[in-house]
DNA sequence: AACTATTATTGAACGTGTTCAAAAAACCGT
DNA sequence: ACGGTTTTTTGAACACGTTCAATAATAGTT
């Protein structure tokens, strides 16, 4: 491993540890540099801005999502049950980072930033995340007329759930649990309904709406 | 009018003008104070943080929304047509602030901030905005089993459209236009479908999901 | 009018993210 | 080993948001 890579990794690690312990705003670039054993300017050599260090947080979230999807796998034949189990496991896994997520969402949402969930730079993570949905729900949706779109739709749904969770400042996260319960039921019903001939006309619509999110993968 | 109120108004006005001309980040608190004819510290006496000055931008956006809803009123009996006309008029009205909106969304999304669309401080604006939807679409949805929820749902939908618009960095905003066209069609269809007995079971779900957004008004 | 309490205003000072010119280190062909 | 080129590292300097103790203006009371 090149020295430069090691230096970069040291900075990433220091940043993530400090973010997790003290929060994003309370952690200064000087803290990170000191913890990583480099100078302030050197940290900026590898990361053009403090915001860019948030990417390590992303990768961590994704890893947790992946682990959770395997640990709490439900093989129920009911889409709603499997969806709810999956999301509850995911939310449990990321719960330790709730406070940090609340701080970080402001940079994640910035349109020009590399960190927003629709950016080119996060494409790889996005694809990998959709892949999880493909694997977990593949057998249930394989015969669906919109089978190719559903992983993207479910990924978008999980983004919405994450947002709901971020905005949930209650103690036990009960509102989010309720939201997951109800929204998974609704989403499952709509997905089932959309197999009916009555919904034939909506397929093209759904496809057109999701198309911009499905390029390049 | 008390002098204090006039001072506050001067700061608000200076801030909005500078934000619109130079953008949010390029405008410093020192610029605002100077343009308003007060000292730097004095600006902070009225607004605890620069972010709080974004509220004037909100109010402006809302006023534009209201104007647009009256100017481009469609009385079509088709929900889709009326929805599309309404949203296109709204997007035209806010188009001059596209770049500013892209900068400001980061503070608007902050969960702890007074400026996020779900906060207590923005409740009044939120209610007034929903009221617009009630007036514009009231006659079309009055007999709907979810009539009481639909203004909130449409408000949420318009928030989604606004977000899509913010993320649209194309020249002519074509993708957003397409998005409005398709999503209004889909939403209209779903609203019509939900009158069918088949959808009876989803009404309680929808109500539960929207309930948290409907308190206090 | 005089005295007190509250409100409004000031500008210097602090900490933070970020930039940059300069120095050091690593690399590479000869 | 040497000279030149590129990569990496440094820390001082800058601009900005924010804080705060001090001062001025205003309002209220006797």
Residue (of B192, B79, B102, B131) closest to B87 by Cα position:
B79
Residue ranges covered by each domain of chain A? 3-47, 52-213
Backbone dihedral angles phi then psi of residue A169, each to the nearest 5 degrees: -100, 15
Mark out the alpha helices in chain B (DSSP H runs): 3-22, 29-36, 40-46, 55-71, 79-94, 98-108, 123-141, 150-167, 174-193, 200-210
| CA–C1' A12–D11 (A) | 21
- Which of A102, A106, A191 is the mutation pick for testing B, counting most B CBs within 10 A? A106
pLDDT of amino acid A42: 96
pLDDT of amino acid B216: 59
User: Residue B120: is it exposed, middle or buried by C-beta count within 10 angstroms (0-12/13-18/19+)?
Assistant: exposed
pLDDT tier at B71 (50, 70, 90 boundaries)? Answer: confident
pLDDT tier at B104 (50, 70, 90 boundaries)? Answer: very high
Residue numbers in A near B205 (CB within 8 A)? 182, 185-186, 189
The ipTM assigned to this model is 0.91
User: Would you state the CATH architecture of domain A3-47?
Assistant: Orthogonal Bundle (1.10)
- Mind listing the pLDDT tens digit for each residue in A134-165? 999 999 999 999 999 999 999 999 999 999 99
The more confidently predicted of residues B169 and B114 is B169
Give the number of other Cβ atoms within 10 Å of residue B179's Cβ.
20
Q: Does A167 contact B at CB distance below 8 Å?
A: yes
Q: Over pLDDT 70: what percentage of chain B?
A: 99
Is the Cβ pair A112, B102 closer than 8 Å?
yes
Is the Cβ pair B167, A106 closer than 8 Å?
no
Q: What is the mean pLDDT of residues B119-137?
A: 90
pLDDT of amino acid A216: 59
Give the end-to-end CA distance of chain B in Å, rounded to a whole number: 29
User: Would you state the CATH architecture of domain A52-213?
Assistant: Orthogonal Bundle (1.10)
Is the Cβ pair B102, A116 closer than 8 Å?
no
> Average per-residue pLDDT in chain A?
92
pLDDT tier at A1 (50, 70, 90 boundaries)? Answer: low
b/e code A36-50 from CB counts within 10 Å (16+ = b): bebeeeebeebbeeb
pLDDT of amino acid B54: 93
- Which of B49, B181, B209 is the mutation pick for testing A, counting most A CBs within 10 A? B209
- Mind listing the pLDDT tens digit for each residue in A31-85? 999 999 999 999 999 999 999 999 988 888 888 888 888 888 788 889 999 999 9
pLDDT higher than threshold 70 for residue B217: no
pLDDT higher than threshold 70 for residue B1: no
């Amino acid at each position: 491993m090149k020295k430069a890579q090691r230096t970069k990794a040291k900075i990433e690690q220091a940043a993530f540890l400090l973010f997790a312990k003290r929060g994003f705003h309370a952690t200064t670039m000087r803290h990170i540099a000191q913890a990583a054993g480099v100078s302030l300017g050197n940290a900026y050599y590898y990361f053009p801005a403090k915001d860019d260090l948030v990417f390590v947080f992303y990768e961590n979230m994704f890893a947790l999502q992946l682990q959770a999807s395997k640990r709490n796998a439900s093989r129920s034949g009911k889409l709603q049950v499997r969806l709810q189990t999956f999301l509850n496991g995911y939310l449990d896994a990321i719960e330790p980072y709730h406070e940090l997520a609340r701080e970080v969402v402001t940079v994640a949402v910035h349109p020009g930033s590399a960190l927003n969930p629709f950016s080119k730079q996060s494409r790889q993570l996005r694809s990998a995340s959709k892949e999880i949905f493909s694997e977990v729900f593949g057998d249930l949706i394989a015969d669906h007329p919109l089978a190719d779109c559903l992983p993207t739709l479910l990924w978008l749904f999980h983004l919405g759930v994450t947002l709901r969770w971020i905005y949930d400042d209650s103690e036990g996260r009960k509102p989010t649990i309720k939201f997951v319960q109800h929204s998974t039921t609704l989403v499952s019903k709509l997905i089932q309904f959309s197999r009916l001939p009555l919904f034939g006309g909506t397929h093209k619509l759904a496809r057109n709406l999701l198309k911009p999110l499905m390029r390049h993968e």
